Amino acid sequence: MTELKINGQLTQLEVSEDMPLLWALRDVAKLTGSKYGCGKGICGACTVHIDGQPMRSCITPMSYAKGKSVTTIEGLSEQGDHPVQQAWQNLNVAQCGYCQSGQIMSAVALLENNPNPSDEDINGAMAGNICRCGTYPRIRAAIKQAAK
Ligand code: FES
């Protein structure tokens, strides 16, 4: 039994400590907003926040997440109306959409640390989130809109 906070709720999951957090979130906690892309820490589709920091849940074992506070895309807002989510909708950022929850979680973490990021700051913070559809210009525009 592993205890952690997920989206503000103390949660006990029946999982082994070497199970990746992404598996526990999707298959056990049934929170499927975080996506499986590469499974190797490369694409960023699985990005969640652990104690406020963006992390790849596919390569984070439950032994690390134990006792910590995890936020997934489901926990960002009640109605999908976090300012970053609203900017994403305003600018129709998503194309296929698969990578976008990870993109949004990285963008939220960026803006929490740096409320007025430059293009370089955005490029640096978002470099680990890959979008096969190439929505990068809209992602950058949405981050700037959310920063206002
Ligand atoms: Fe975790 Fe690609 S699925 S980084």
**Contact between residue 139 and residue 109 where contact means Cβ atoms under 8 Å apart:** no
31, pLDDT greater than 90 = yes
Instruction: For residues 7-31, give the mean pLDDT.
Output: 98
What's the pLDDT band for 20 if we cut at 50, 70, 90?
very high
pLDDT of residue 1: 87
Q: Tell me, what's the pLDDT at 148?
A: 83
The pLDDT score that the predictor gives to residue 58 is 98
Angle at 101 (CA atoms; ends 137, 42), nearest 5 degrees:
80
For the Cβ of 56 lying below 6 angstroms from any atom of ligand 1, the answer is yes
Tell me which of 1 and 147 has the higher pLDDT. Answer: 147
**Inter-CA distances, 140 with 45, 47, 49, 62, 146, Å:** 17, 18, 20, 32, 10
Q: 146, 86 in Cβ contact below 8 A?
A: yes
Ligand 1 atom closest to residue 130's alpha carbon, by position in its atom list: 2
Cβ of residue 44 lying under 6 Å from some atom of ligand 1: yes
ipTM: 0.98
Could you report the per-residue pLDDT of 69-124, keeping only the tens digit for each?
999 999 999 999 999 999 999 999 999 999 999 999 999 999 999 999 999 999 99
Residue 145's φ and ψ, nearest 5 degrees, are: -65, -40
One-character DSSP codes across the chain = -EEEEETTEEEEE---TTSBHHHIIIIIS---SS--S-SSSSS-TTEEEETTEEEEGGG-BHHHHTTSEEE-GGGS-SSS-SHHHHHHHHTT--SS-TTHHHHHHHHHHHHHH-SS--HHHHHHHHTT---TT--HHHHHHHHHHHH-
Nearest to 43 by CA among 52, 33, 34, 51: 34
Closest ligand 1 atom, CA of 47? Answer: 1
State pLDDT tens for residues 33-77. Answer: 999 999 999 999 999 999 999 999 999 999 999 999 999 999 999
The full set of domains in the chain, from first to last, is: 2-74 (3.10.20.30), 83-147 (1.10.150.120)
